[in-house]
Amino acid sequence: MKARGFTLVELAIVLTVVATLATAALAPLGAQREARERRRTATALDLAIEALYGYALAHGRLPCPDALDDGDGREDRHGAAACRARDGWLPAVELGVDGRDAWRRRLRYQVTARTTATTGSSFVASDDGWCDSGDGDLDLCERGDLTIVARGDDPATVTVETKASFVLADGVPAAVWSHGANGHGAADGPPLPPAHADEAANGDGDARLVARDYAGGAAACSDGADDALPLCAFDDLVRWLSPTVLVNRLVSAGRLP
Q: What confidence score (pLDDT) does residue 21 get?
A: 63
pLDDT in tens, the chain (257 residues): 555 556 777 677 777 776 666 565 555 667 789 899 999 999 999 999 999 999 988 887 888 899 999 899 999 987 656 788 889 999 999 999 999 999 999 999 999 865 433 333 333 333 332 244 444 444 555 568 899 998 876 555 544 445 667 889 998 999 999 999 999 998 878 899 988 999 999 989 899 999 998 988 788 888 876 777 888 899 999 999 998 898 888 788 877 66
Distances (CA, A) of 174 to 23, 110, 155, 169, 254: 42, 6, 33, 11, 21
Q: What confidence score (pLDDT) does residue 256 get?
A: 67
Q: What confidence score (pLDDT) does residue 161 get?
A: 44
Closest CA to 181 of 233, 240, 110: 233
Q: What confidence score (pLDDT) does residue 129 get?
A: 28
Q: Give the number of C-alpha atoms closer than 13 A to the C-alpha of residue 113, restricted to the C-beta side.
A: 28
Say if pTM beats, i.e. exceeds, 0.85: no
Q: What confidence score (pLDDT) does residue 157 get?
A: 52
Q: What confidence score (pLDDT) does residue 26 get?
A: 53
Chain-centroid distance, C-alpha 63? 18
Whole-angstrom distance, CA of residue 52 vs CA of residue 109? 10
Q: What confidence score (pLDDT) does residue 93 get?
A: 97
Provide the b/e sequence for 3-33 (b: ≥16 CB within 10 Å). Answer: eeeeeeeeeeeeeeeeeeeeeeeeeeeeeee
Closest CA to 188 of 88, 121, 41: 88
Q: What confidence score (pLDDT) does residue 81 get?
A: 60
Q: What confidence score (pLDDT) does residue 210 get?
A: 94
